[in-house]
């Protein structure tokens, strides 16, 4: 009887653990160029394992705003890597996504020296070249397979204008803060959802320049498409005709700037004139007192 109770409790705990386990991130796509590969048990593989372990362990930190980059090893076997979580996701969702990605990328891009994997919640990238530098930064494109059927040119313009507007807002965030913004726009009885994001370490001009470059590439992949993504190493943009982010969490992640404090209004003309009259009266009274004192002094001297 006791063993039956124990088995029942154990099964209940296992069921609860399965239910409460964090869901896997939503996989979008990957880029495995397959131009160069590494051999098993090589120095590069050892450095890659160290790098992925570092990315995974640092994803648990709460003070990095969903971004971390690091390198491991020395040239010619040095590996560069980073992760960037979407600006509206929680720390726990970011951590789960990065941990999952460090394992998933090795399965989807086995023995690749360069790989990028993209989920709804985060991006993870590694390479044998320093992609932190713009010199080696080339874009990655993804697009929705469906086209808009009503006024595609106007839709393209709306996408570009909306993304440009929020790029300014994202880029203006202080260095180290989340450089992230979302916005909605109306299109033909539908809602256009847009998102831009830079890595937090970028300066305002560099973030703005990166996002502008991404927007300029939309014609290469996404002309007339219902959705599209352009990814650079340091920034990315996305738009869809469905909500792919948490709008409430996005507003909380990047609050609106505080209102500008207004200076007190200047004194009105009547108050100025009134003050002038009072000052003149006091001056006249003071002058009169001096005159009286002078006359009294002369009188007492003659007595």
Q: How far apart are CA 54 and CA 50, in angstroms?
A: 6
Question: CA–CA distance from 64 to each of 58, 60, 80, 83, 175 (Å)?
Answer: 9, 9, 18, 11, 12
DSSP 242: S
Whole-structure pTM value: 0.74
Rounded to the nearest integer, the mean pLDDT of the chain is 81
CATH code of the domain made up of 21-136: 3.30.430.20
Residue ranges of the chain that CATH labels 3.30.430.20: 21-136, 140-253
Six-digit token pair at 63? 């003070």
Six-digit token pair at 255? 């609050």
Half-sphere exposure of 85 (CA within 13 A, CB side): 30
- Three-state DSSP state, 126: strand
CB 244 within 8 A of CB 120: yes
Low-confidence ranges of the chain (pLDDT < 50): 1, 4, 6-19, 255-303
- DSSP E strand boundaries for the chain: 27-31, 67-72, 79-85, 115-119, 122-127, 140-143, 179-187, 190-198, 228-231, 235-240
**140-253 to CATH, choices 1.20.1730.10, 3.30.430.20, 3.40.228.10, 3.55.50.30:** 3.30.430.20
| 27-60 per-position pLDDT tens digit | 988 989 878 999 999 999 999 999 999 999 999 8
| 228-261 per-position pLDDT tens digit | 999 998 999 999 999 999 888 887 766 444 433 3
């Amino acid at each position: 009887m006791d063993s039956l109770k124990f088995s029942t409790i154990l099964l209940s705990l296992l069921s609860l653990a399965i239910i409460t386990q964090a869901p896997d991130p939503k996989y979008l796509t990957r880029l495995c160029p397959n131009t160069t590969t590494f051999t098993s048990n090589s120095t590069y593989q050892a450095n890659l394992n160290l790098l992925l372990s570092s990315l995974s362990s640092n994803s648990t930190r709460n003070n990095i705003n969903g971004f971390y980059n690091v390198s491991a090893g020395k040239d010619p076997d040095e590996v560069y890597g980073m992760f960037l979580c979407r600006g509206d996701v929680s720390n726990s969702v970011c951590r789960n996504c990065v941990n999952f990605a460090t394992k998933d990328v090795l399965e989807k891009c086995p023995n690749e020296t360069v790989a990028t994997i993209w989920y709804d919640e985060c991006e993870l990238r590694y390479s044998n070249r320093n992609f932190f530098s713009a010199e080696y930064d080339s874009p990655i494109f993804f697009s929705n397979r469906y086209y808009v059927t009503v006024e595609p040119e106007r839709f393209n313009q709306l996408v570009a204008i909306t993304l440009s507007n929020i790029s300014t807002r994202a880029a203006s965030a202080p260095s180290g803060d989340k450089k992230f913004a979302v916005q909605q726009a109306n299109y033909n009885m539908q809602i256009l959802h847009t998102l831009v994001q830079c890595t937090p370490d970028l300066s305002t001009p560099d973030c703005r320049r990166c996002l502008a470059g991404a927007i300029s590439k939309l014609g290469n992949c996404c002309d007339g498409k219902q959705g599209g993504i352009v990814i650079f190493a340091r920034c990315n943009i996305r738009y869809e005709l469905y909500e792919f982010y948490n709008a409430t969490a996005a507003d909380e992640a990047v609050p609106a700037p505080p209102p500008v404090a207004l200076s007190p209004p200047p004194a009105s003309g009547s108050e100025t004139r009134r003050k002038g009259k009072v000052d003149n009266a006091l001056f006249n009274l003071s002058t009169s007192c001096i005159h009286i004192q002078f006359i009294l002094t002369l009188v007492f001297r003659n007595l």
